[in-house]
Amino acid sequence: MLNLPSPRAEVLDRRQQIARDLRALLGRDDLLTTSANELKGYETDGLACYRTVPMLVVLAEDTAQVAAVLRYCHDNEVPVMARGAGTSLAGGALPQQDTVVLGLSKMNEILEVNAENQTARVQAGVTNRNISTAVDDLGLFYAPDPSSQIACTIGGNVAMNSGGAHCLKYGVTTNHILGVTFVTMEGEVVEIGGEAFDLPGYDLLGLIVGAEGQLGVVTEVTVRLMPKPEAARPLLAGFASALEAGACVAAIMATGRTPVAIEFMDRPAILACEHFTGAGYPTDAQALLIIEVEGSEAEIETELAFVEAMAREHGATSISVAEDIVSAENIWKGRKSAFGAIGQISPDYLCMDGTIPVTKLPDVLEQIYAIGDRYGFEIANIFHAGDGNMHPLIMYDSHQPGVLDRVEECGAEILRVCVDAGGCITGEHGVGIEKRDHMPLMFSPEDLEQMKALKRGFDPKWLLNGGKVFPLTETGIPAGQIDPTQGLH
Amino acid sequence: MAGSRATAESSEAAADSPEVLPETAAESFSTPEALAGFVRETTEPLAFSGRGSKAGIGFPVEGRAVTTSGLQGITYFEPQEFVLGALAGTRLSVLEATLAEHDLILPFSPPRFGGDPSLGGVIASNLGGAERESLGAPRDNVLGAQYINGRGELLKAGGRVVKNVSGYDLPRALCGSWGTLAILTEITIKVVPKARAVAQDAAGLDAVWASPFVWRVSLPRDRAAALLADWNGPSAQQWSGSLIWLGADAVGANDIHKRAAALGGHALLVQSPDKHRREHGCFQPLSTGVQALQRQVKAAFDPGFRFNPGRMYKDL
């Protein structure tokens, strides 16, 4: 189990006063949650093995309220954390006992769509999917598509620089954000960027996107929209071994003819998804690739023929092409329900997110299976293979005493393999608390200190979403907080 | 050869010719470690440049001149992974020649200002070329960086894979900082197949570059017409109209900055007489809120405010 920072007793002692102050500040009762029952709804996120009931929850309705709450927390030294839909798989939305959760789910309006500029201005609590739905009839869509896109919010996507299956072609969140309304820990509201490409001055958007909500709170976002392709069609290819499928991915990518998505599932994942959704996956295959191509009908035909030839060359045992929209949606439904499907066959699982160079896929897969065998865990592999972003799911039963420690050790070994292969510890989920202690696999203390210096610049008291991203010191407090020169004053 | 449009042919020719460094009295180093040591051992302001192709942009910097042009060479190249790493002083023409052997290209073709810019300079200035809409700006294609901060520490951020959210995205934060936050010493970028090349032509650019003042204006696409409506000088457009180049014989620096801001965009004065540049600078004025955030970022990377002081803005 990871060490969580100890709550500040002196903050917990002030709980009643803080609740009164926030109520007065907001001028209403209904935005503040204090009942134990309701607070429990905010105790965890997509990393459900860690749970901590927060001190209070505020559900903000506008930027001014967010600014007022942050200013209050800053002036009164109260830890605070913004939360969207709470779908983080890395514990990015895990509160601490002394935390005020600043929920943004009520800020769910699409403020403006500009079809000519291909941009939309939305509030942070709008779900990822709702952006695409709102602009669908204009022939546009918002490209980054995390598997949780029905629930996850654009604010959370910005915080974690989220990816998704179709990011292989279109890029991740940071490539699609043009502007934000950013509220600093001191409660200043700053407009950064706008509707035009690129920023004058420093690339503050580049810094804020992916900073895991530690530098400030984003309340509105201007996203870039993309023209919808004329059509898209996935192909399913089954293989007799995961290694052959991995080699096929590497070979397709090496040609430079990038499909819009290449998704990989191994046998445990295929069986679970097929059982769960009846997507029509080949249950006799050891590995499955979903390869999607898009464009005009002629382009689709050409690319599908190419992909099919590559798959056959690498020993595909079955190939089927979606013939219509219904079968295409069915194929994707299976993939996007994968985590839920694994949840049906295993009481618990831990989802890893390491990324590796694509040419190393077959080799790394073999090592992952060996690690799973050594620890005695079954591992299902479901991942965005085209860009090397792996999601090994380590299945376990949390009722076994001490099992989580072993699961986390197993996960750490997998991440080490990814880093040794030239990759990284997280491709799209973020560090959160889950991979906090693995950051030294990639970065020296000095590298991390540079990131912490930025954090201190924006939030000198480490009040905003603390206890994450950086390894905790032995005292259980973020190391940056006890820096004698720049820490608490 | 007018301004920005070095052709593929001239780049390849440059790659074959012997390396001639710009004439300068600047301190030069052949390794990142040596440059980091120099930063640690000095205390005065440092004026960094790469190969100097963009020396005409920004306020002149007062400080000891240091060039990264001695940091040469490709350090990592995996054609099958579409990833390339090189030391910051490596010329674009050198990278392009190596990539061409594998039918690959750089995913960005920034304005070259008649020179053969270094990779570090291109990343530090983050000026996207004709392919900005489809392939992104330089910042969209940076995967990792080794850099030296104001304390002279040689650090790294990011990595060598396309998807990476391990910690804050510092490589991107350094893009477009014009050497005022850190010195990039080695950069890892994504490269793309030649088939994805975008035509570089923009009608009218030669006439724009023949003017003493040249503005590069990024606007929301639907406001471009408003800017051009009353513009009498030469102009050119890229990015489906949202990048506008304006050439002028004489213009107050603030006019186009103000107009661009009013239209929801921003402008950079990329060519101007030295006297004008000294007085007015080139970069888009910013809101007080953004200025405050920029100073925080500056202080975190370069607490002594020694790196390229005042090049972009007087307070950075």
Please check whether residue A361 lies inside any domain of the structure: yes
Q: Does B175 touch chain A (CB under 8 A)?
A: yes
Please check whether residue A430 lies inside any domain of the structure: no
Please check whether residue A434 lies inside any domain of the structure: no
Task: Give contacts of B 130-149 with A, CB under 8 A.
Answer: 132-133, 136-137, 139-140, 149
Written as six digits, the tokens of A118 are 């291909």
What's the confidence (pLDDT) of residue B254?
A: 54
Q: Looking at chain B, list the stretches that DSSP marks H as alpha helix, in order from N- to C-terminal side.
A: 8-16, 32-41, 92-100, 119-125, 132-135, 170-174, 205-209, 224-229, 253-262, 274-280, 288-301
* Min Cα separation B289/chain A (Å): 5
A472 and A397 in a single domain? The answer is: no
A245 and A388 in a single domain? The answer is: yes
Q: Looking at A190-319, list the stretches that DSSP marks H as alpha helix, in order from N- to C-terminal side.
A: 204-208, 242-254, 267-277, 297-313
Is the distance from CB of A145 to CB of A165 less than 8 angstroms?
yes
Written as six digits, the tokens of A356 are 């590796």
Q: What are the tens digits of pLDDT across the range B139-156?
A: 999 999 999 999 999 999
CATH number of the CATH domain containing A372: 3.40.462.10
Chain A residues whose CB is inside 8 A of the B313 CB are 201
Please check whether residue A272 lies inside any domain of the structure: yes
Last residue within a domain, chosen from A103, A126, A148: A103
Could you give phi then psi for residue B172, rounded to 5 degrees?
Answer: -70, -35
Q: Is B42 exposed, middle or buried (0-12, 13-18, 19+ CB in 10 A)?
A: middle
A117 and A185 in a single domain? The answer is: yes
Q: Is B225 exposed, middle or buried (0-12, 13-18, 19+ CB in 10 A)?
A: exposed
In A37-96, the DSSP E strands lie at 56-59, 80-83
Architecture of domain B205-280: 2-Layer Sandwich (3.30)
Residue recorded with tokens 């694994």:
A342
Last residue within a domain, chosen from A167, A196, A227: A227
Q: Where in chain B is the domain with CATH 3.30.465.10?
A: 8-196
Mean pLDDT computed over B20-36: 83
Provide the pLDDT confidence category of residue B181 given band limits of 50, 70 and 90. very high
Please check whether residue A290 lies inside any domain of the structure: yes
Q: Report CB contact under 8 Å: B166, A202.
A: no
Chain B residues whose CB is inside 8 A of the A432 CB are none
Q: Where in chain B is the domain with CATH 3.30.70?
A: 205-280
A51 and A145 in a single domain? The answer is: no
Q: Report CB contact under 8 Å: B290, A192.
A: yes
Q: Report CB contact under 8 Å: A447, B157.
A: yes
What's the confidence (pLDDT) of residue A39?
A: 97
* Min Cα separation B144/chain A (Å): 11
Please state the domain count of chain A.
4
Low-confidence ranges of chain A (pLDDT < 70): 473-489
Q: Looking at B6-117, list the stretches that DSSP marks H as alpha helix, in order from N- to C-terminal side.
A: 8-16, 32-41, 92-100
Range of the domain at A149: 110-227
Chain B residues whose CB is inside 8 A of the A362 CB are none
Residue of chain B whose Cα is closest to the Cα of A117? B221
What's the confidence (pLDDT) of residue A257?
A: 87
By Cβ distance, the residue of B153, B169, B266 closest to A209 is B169
Q: What are the tens digits of pLDDT across the range B79-105?
A: 989 999 999 999 999 999 999 999 999
What's the confidence (pLDDT) of residue A475?
A: 39
Please check whether residue A428 lies inside any domain of the structure: no
What's the confidence (pLDDT) of residue B200?
A: 79
What's the confidence (pLDDT) of residue A485?
A: 33
What's the confidence (pLDDT) of residue A219?
A: 98
Q: Report CB contact under 8 Å: B289, A430.
A: no
CA distance B144 to B172: 9
Q: Does B294 touch chain A (CB under 8 A)?
A: yes
pTM: 0.93
Last residue within a domain, chosen from A227, A258, A288: A227
Q: Report CB contact under 8 Å: A201, B155.
A: no
**Domain B8-196 classified CATH 1.10.10.60?**
no
What's the confidence (pLDDT) of residue B271?
A: 95
Q: Report CB contact under 8 Å: A254, B80.
A: yes
Q: What are the tens digits of pLDDT across the range B118-138?
A: 999 999 999 999 999 999 999
By Cβ distance, the residue of A203, A209, A356 closest to B126 is A203
What's the confidence (pLDDT) of residue B260?
A: 96
Task: Give contacts of B 4-63 with A, CB under 8 A.
Answer: none
A37 and A165 in a single domain? The answer is: no
Tell me the count of A-B CB pairs closer than 8 A.
Answer: 230
- Report whether pLDDT(B15) > 50: no
Please check whether residue A294 lies inside any domain of the structure: yes
* Min Cα separation B20/chain A (Å): 32
Q: Report CB contact under 8 Å: B139, A206.
A: yes
Residue A137, C-beta contacts closer than 8 angstroms, at least 6 positions apart: none
A261 and A186 in a single domain? The answer is: no
Q: Does B218 touch chain A (CB under 8 A)?
A: yes
CA distance B7 to B1: 9
Mean pLDDT computed over B13-21: 47
Q: Does B216 touch chain A (CB under 8 A)?
A: no
Asked if this assembly's ipTM is beyond 0.90, the reply is: yes
Question: pLDDT over 90 for what percent of chain B?
Answer: 84
A282 and A414 in a single domain? The answer is: yes
Please check whether residue A195 lies inside any domain of the structure: yes
